[in-house]
Amino acid sequence: MRLLLSILPLAFLLVAFHPQSTYTLQGTVLDETGQGLFGATVLIEGTTTGVVTDVDGYFELSAPDSCARIIVNFVGYEAQAADLCSGAPVTVRMTAPQVLEEVVVTGYSGRADRGRGRRRAEAQRLTAPAAAYTYPASPSREVPSGDRYATINENKFITTAEEHTSTFALDVDAASYSNVRRFLTSGSLPPADAVRAEEMINYFQYDYPQPTDGHPFHVITELADCPWEPGHQLLLVGLRGASIPQENLAPANLVFLVDVSGSMSSPDKLPLLIESLKMLTDNLRAEDQVAIVVYAGAAGLVLPSTSGADKATIKDALDRLQAGGSTAGAAGIQLAYQTAREHFIEGGNNRVILATDGDFNVGVASEDGLESLIETERESGIFLSILGFGRGNLQDSKMQILADKGNGNHAYIDQLSEARKVLVTEFGGTLYTIAKDVKIQVEFNPELVASYRLIGYENRLLDNEDFRDDTKDAGELGAGHTVTALYEIVPAPVRTTSDLAAYVRLRYKEPDANTSQELYYEVAPGANSFGQSSLNLRWSTAVAEFAMLLRDSEHRGLATYEHCLDLARAAQGRDPFRYRHEMITLIQRAQTLAGATATAEDE
């Protein structure tokens, strides 16, 4: 009996590490005008395996056979069936829409250049029957069963007579934006606590100058009138981390820590996770190394540390993963850190990448216990990044806390195009830290500023005395990352001739240092009219307004979805990856969903 018990964990790992053979099926779904249809569901007939089309109507899914029959659905259109085979993409044209009493959002119609030749954003993987994708006429804001979000108490205005100094930790996470997108494309408004304004703003890159003074980042400030509250002003504080060419990045020692528990079985979890890590693998060099640890009922090393040049071996190991069992997250994290220490690279990028839906329900399950474990391990010089996947079990608050404690970042992957953004396009910023424990302190001049409100960063606020306390943990900045913070300001009623509106101080540590360096900047008075301000300020303001509308913020002032659309369209600027175009479409979708909710409530 004792022997049987001892081999059960091994037997489980063999099940989790099971070979699979899959084929890639591709196609495009068009509406009746010939435009790509965003958000159509494509299901393999007779199964619950499917995807959702991207902004160009493109889809890509994995199938066990080289040919399959698909069923395509979109609210307001007749379902269409088509046969397709691997290597032979199909085009499916939807028939004329029916008259339905359901919310239909067609955000991308009317676009002249769809850019299909320039980019094929991968489709969002889901599991659901075809009928599950109709949008109810009264969208819900309820948190899906099993999802967990930390409560956000929105920052309020603080008078400078009461306190004229504001301190917070830098935040480069952007998980909230992709999670909000997941809700909206699924036909529901997000719960208010799922909307973190700073992560919405920092999902986008901004055109800040590269550093030139020997520090790892450049800081800018800008003042402008506030578009949603006449008489108020906005202060932008922007940072840009130094970009490092990939060939100059330090060698990486990575450990993929993969959750293969039963909760990861749906296609928007483990299958999407595997494809995402394959993308990251394609970006590795010969001097980089990767190991794979899995955890569920037991934790195990399924791939020893392997050179990034041996991509086929790494991908083969990923392809063999299967979900099943309960979750022992603590055991997996311990083994991952042990593996990373055994192959530690001095001066390199030593990092554990945890990929999970966040459910740690066996072992050290409390957040305090996991925090303590990861805080202890980060002292070894090994950072932690977390990739969240899936719905219905998303432990958002837990993953965010653990990434913070592990000196890393947290992203939410809802589709392959997001994986490409996080793990390929922003590879350096995601995986290579150039400054840690970054803190920002803004001291306002009471002669010019009556009160102020930091937009977002509610869970990043620090006591003012923590600013120069080097034992206090703060945020990390990756290579090439930009970070933006916005303050809404109420000017003093009687202004002096002072030539200083605020001081901005910033402290940071080099990645391998224990002592901070401090930088200092002055903000001159005199706000530009909003229309004359930079694209950086105008776009970040549009995103902030979008977040306030989604949260139904008491500080939204005159903001409306139509007003937000006007701001975003006027500030879209250069948009090579179409991320900003996508947000404009999401604003349109939220506007429609919010209108349906209001109508239902009136009735």
HEC states along 94-136?
CCCCCCCCCCCCCCCCCCCCCCCCCCCCCCEEEECCHHHHCCC
Which pLDDT score is estimated for 371?
Answer: 79
CA dist 13 and 321 (Å) reads 9
Other CB atoms within a 10 A radius of the CB of residue 433 amount to: 26
Other CB atoms within a 10 A radius of the CB of residue 294 amount to: 28
CA dist 257 and 332 (Å) reads 7
Which pLDDT score is estimated for 163?
Answer: 98
- Which of 125, 141, 142 has its CA nearest to residue 51? 125
Q: DSSP labels for 299-345? A: EEEEEEEEETT-HHHHHHHHHTB---S---HHHHHHHHHHHHHHT--
CA dist 519 and 505 (Å) reads 6
Other CB atoms within a 10 A radius of the CB of residue 365 amount to: 15
Residue pair 402/329 in contact by the 8 Å Cβ criterion: no
Mean pLDDT by 10 residues, the chain (603 residues): 42 48 84 77 74 79 86 74 90 65 32 34 34 39 72 97 97 91 90 96 96 92 98 98 91 94 85 91 95 85 96 94 70 88 94 85 58 80 90 80 87 88 88 93 97 97 96 91 98 86 96 92 95 98 99 97 98 93 95 74 54
Which pLDDT score is estimated for 145?
Answer: 59
Which pLDDT score is estimated for 369?
Answer: 72
Query: Sign (positive/negative) of CA torsion 430, 434, 438, 444?
Result: negative
CA dist 161 and 283 (Å) reads 52
Which pLDDT score is estimated for 496?
Answer: 78
Residue 545 corresponds to which tokens in the numbers above? 């307004």
Q: Which helix (H) or strand (E) holds 188?
A: none
Residue 295 corresponds to which tokens in the numbers above? 């955890």
Which pLDDT score is estimated for 303?
Answer: 96
CA dist 310 and 389 (Å) reads 26
Which pLDDT score is estimated for 28?
Answer: 93
Model pTM score: 0.79
Phi and psi at residue 580, to the nearest 5°: -70, -40
Residue pair 91/27 in contact by the 8 Å Cβ criterion: yes
Which pLDDT score is estimated for 231?
Answer: 97
- In 58-216 the beta strands, taken as DSSP E runs, fall at 58-63, 67-73, 80-85, 90-93, 124-127, 158-159, 165-169
Which pLDDT score is estimated for 114?
Answer: 32
Which pLDDT score is estimated for 60?
Answer: 85
Residue pair 422/355 in contact by the 8 Å Cβ criterion: no
Could you tell me the strand order of the sheet in which 23-30 lies? 58-63, 23-30, 90-93
Domains of the chain, CATH where assigned: 23-133 (2.60.40.1120), 158-244+434-602 (2.60.40.1230), 246-431 (3.40.50.410)
CA dist 388 and 520 (Å) reads 36
Where helices occur in 357-395 by DSSP H, the ranges are 367-378
Which pLDDT score is estimated for 405?
Answer: 87
Residue 211 CB contacts under 8 Å (≥ 6 apart), including other chains: 217, 218, 240, 241, 242
